[in-house]
Structure 1
Amino acid sequence: MALKWYTVVVDCRDPQAQAHWWAEALDWTVVYDTPDEAVAVPRYALEGPEHEEDPDAWMRRGQGLVFVPVPEGKEVKNRLHLDLAPHTSQDRDAEIQRLLDLGASHVDVGQTEADTFTVLADPEGNEFCVLSSRDG
């Protein structure tokens, strides 16, 4: 029997701000928000008849991002990061600008001009990549 990927947990200083930032960046929604934990999930996880019958059905439908507080700030490059890709119908540069307008920043991790990805960081400095546009 295989394990199911359930969530990615992100240590951060301000779980609520991070959850809301990522929800905005990904067009997701925050479904749980307490001082000890905030959870963002894809909107599709909240759709369908099973969600109407069980408000916690999102927990069984898809991966989410869980943000938990830690006292220390981020000091080194992430060992794990998210790769995001716009759809081929989207303007990649406009999506990058949208993320920058939300509070992301450019990060240099040694990438070159030949690379087909852009490295950004969220407001707490966690790196992520925006890849070339993808179909689906």
Structure 2
Amino acid sequence: MPLRWYTVVVDCVDASAQADWWSLVLDWPKVYEAPDEVVLIPPQALTQSDSVPPMERGPGLVFVPVPEGKTVKNRLHLDLAPLAGEDQAEAVERLVGLGATRSDVGQSADVTWVVLADPEGNEFCVLSPRD
């Protein structure tokens, strides 16, 4: 029996601020906020949830507060990609303008992705454009 991938949980010092930032990055709505968690979901989950079978629904993001800050490289990270025909460099500059920082996790200079970190230091990658 397979399980459904339901959410990715992100530990953070300021769950509300992190959720606000990722909401801007992904254009995902905040659907729940409490002191112990903030939830973002893909926008189509609000309009198409009844027509998409549960096993085909994308995961949401849940931000939960923890007392400690990030101290080491993530062992799990998100990969984001512009759509085909869009510009990777423009996407990266938009994210940097929103508060992301460039991050060196040991990648070589010839890779096709860009490693960034969110405002609390969680690494993620911006891939080359794809569908």
* TM-score, normalisation: structure 1: 0.88
C-alpha deviations, 1:98-135, integer Å up to 9, x for none?
10011000000111111011000000000000011112
C-alpha deviations, 1:29-68, integer Å up to 9, x for none?
11111111001111111114849xxxxxxxx943100000
Q: 128, 132, 135: which is aligned to 2:128?
A: 132
d(CA) in 1 for partners of 2:81, 2:122? 17
Structure 1 partner of 2:24: 24
SS at match of 1:28: coil
Structure 1 position 94 matched with structure 2 position 123 = no
Q: Which amino acid aligns with 2:59?
A: Q
Q: 1:4 to 1:49 in 2, by over 3 A?
A: closer
Q: Where in structure 1 do 4 or more consecutive aligned residues deviate above 6 Å?
A: none
The number of residues matched between the two structures is: 128
Q: CA RMSD in A?
A: 1.8
Q: 52, 68, 71: which is aligned to 1:72?
A: 68
What pairs up with 1:48-87 in 2 under 5 angstroms?
A: 48=48, 50=50, 61-87=57-83
Q: 1:117 to 1:50 in 2, by over 3 A?
A: same
d(CA) in 2 for partners of 1:28, 1:97? 20
SS at match of 1:32: strand
d(CA) in 1 for partners of 2:3, 2:79? 22
Q: CA deviation at 1:2?
A: 0.5
SS at match of 2:21: helix
Identical residues among aligned pairs (%)? 62
Structure 2 partner of 1:56: none
SS at match of 1:94: helix
1:20 and 1:40 in contact (8 A); partners too? no
Q: Which amino acid aligns with 1:10?
A: V
Structure 2 partner of 1:4: 4
Note the residue ranges of structure 2 that are not aligned, 5 or more in a row. Answer: none
d(CA) in 2 for partners of 1:49, 1:75? 37
